Amino acid sequence: NAGVTQTPKFRVLKTGQSMTLLCAQDMNHEYMYWYRQDPGMGLRLIHYSVGEGTTAKGEVPDGYNVSRLKKQNFLLGLESAAPSQTSVYFCASLLAGDQETQYFGPGTRLLVL
């Protein structure tokens, strides 16, 4: 049982490049989330999904797209990376009906030059 895994762990991009961050969970959780963590800003919700095939915008969705084609995977895409997207990205999942525990992945550190 790996929990929540994120790929890659670290990436450097040039401005304008694109990439996809992959999140996978093996706990059969319905809900999945993408957050970004920046100094002094805490964790801010980018997008989330309440089930396979559905996604919704969070607090800071601009510049990102997501897809949830399979229940266990949640992809975060950057079509044209900008330096403002330099951050640490965390994926999380939650069992429907469980108010408490979001399970987080280890994070992806992204540097956009």
Residues 74-93 that bind another protein (CB under 8 A): 90, 92
> In the bound complex, what is the minimum distance in angstroms from residue 16's beta carbon to another protein?
28
- Tokens 């399979």, residue located: 70
> In the bound complex, what is the minimum distance in angstroms from residue 87's beta carbon to another protein?
14
Return d(Cα 80, Cα 16) in angstroms, integer.
Answer: 4
Burial class of residue 97 (count of CB atoms within 10 Å of its CB; 0-12, 13-18, 19+) = exposed
Tell me if residue 80 falls in helix, strand or coil: coil
- Please pick, from the candidates 8, 53, 83, 106, the single residue that binds another protein as defined by CB under 8 A: 106
Q: Give the footprint of another protein on this chain (CB under 8 A).
A: 4, 31, 35, 40-45, 48, 50, 58-59, 90, 92, 94, 96, 99-107
